[in-house]
């Protein structure tokens, strides 16, 4: 990611983005001349600036800043300092700052790794929605296979700096090695509504399993339903089972 952003120079190789050479034999385009959005693992927000000022510093445009605040739903917190925000809110500020530059490439360095599982799942869906809306080529570093399955189209695997795999995500997860199925019967005990999806809390034995559903999927179930929780790779599915009285 640092080489793509121009923060480090590779020993060799070529890089062209949309027909423009960024890296070549005698070519190293300066970072400030590359249209890159970069979300660091620790967000790297400016602590002495407000949320609005962090975004404005990147794009220099008041109107664009307002659009980004609205996009990540932080308009009401525009005057707040980063230190007063939650981890999820800081992640949104960092994402809005990166997107405000209208980048050709968006680079994400494990941006959700420090968040708790529930917030991480919520922001994964928000990140996917923003990606689909803006259509920016996005390169994300992740060690979470479930996250890769949810967000990525293509997976490149590196081991000790060497490329070991370059494959479409669907092909990887639907291969025979990853096609084993598991199914458990449980009871829906609660629904938790988020901005873009609903989490079904399902009691299976003495454990609670959470499954994210779209609004349409959630409408098909009610609390108390006995369901079959099936998985293939990391894609959970729910199926209502007939009641014992039927």
Q: What is the pLDDT of residues 161-174, one digit of tens each?
A: 889 999 998 787 66
pLDDT in tens, 15-29: 999 999 999 988 899
Q: Which of 237, 235, 217, 219 is nearest to 227 (CA)?
A: 237
Q: What is the pLDDT of residue 203?
A: 86
The whole-number pLDDT of residue 17 equals 92
Per-residue pLDDT at 176: 44
**In the block, residue with structure tokens 């062209």:** 16
Confidence tier at 98 by pLDDT (50, 70, 90): very high
- CB burial of 44-82 (b: ≥16 within 10 Å; e: otherwise) equals ebeeeebbbebbbebbeeeebbeebbebbebeebbeebb
Q: pLDDT of 38-87, one tens digit each?
A: 998 888 999 999 999 999 999 999 999 999 999 888 999 999 999 999 98
85-108 average pLDDT score: 92
Exposure pattern of 213-224 as b/e (b: 16+ CB <10 Å)?
Answer: beeeebeebeee
Confidence at residue 174, expressed as pLDDT on a 0 to 100 scale: 63
pLDDT of 235 > 70? The answer is no
């Amino acid at each position: 990611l640092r080489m793509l952003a121009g923060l480090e120079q590779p020993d060799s190789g070529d890089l062209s983005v949309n027909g423009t050479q960024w890296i070549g034999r005698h070519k190293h385009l300066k970072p400030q001349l590359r249209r890159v959005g970069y979300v660091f693992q620790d967000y790297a927000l400016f602590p002495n600036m407000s949320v609005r000022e962090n975004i404005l510093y990147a794009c220099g445009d008041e109107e664009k800043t307002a659009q980004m605040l609205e996009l990540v739903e932080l308009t009401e917190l525009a005057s707040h300092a980063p230190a007063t925000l939650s981890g999820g809110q800081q992640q949104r500020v960092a994402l809005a700052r990166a997107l405000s530059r209208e980048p050709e490439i968006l680079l994400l360095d494990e941006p959700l790794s420090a968040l708790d599982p529930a917030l991480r799942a919520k922001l994964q869906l928000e990140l996917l929605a923003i990606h689909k809306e803006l259509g920016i080529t996005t390169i994300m570093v992740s060690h979470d296979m479930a996250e890769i399955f949810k967000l990525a189209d293509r997976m490149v695997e590196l081991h000790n700096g060497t490329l070991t795999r370059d494959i479409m995500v669907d092909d990887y997860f639907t291969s025979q090695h990853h096609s084993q199925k598991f199914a458990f019967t449980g009871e829906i005990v609660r629904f938790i509504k988020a901005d873009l999806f609903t989490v079904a809390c399902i009691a299976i034995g003495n454990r609670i399993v959470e499954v994210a559903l779209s609004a349409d999927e959630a409408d098909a179930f009610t609390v108390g339903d006995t369901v079959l929780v099936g998985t293939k790779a990391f894609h959970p599915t729910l199926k209502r089972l007939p009641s014992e009285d039927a």
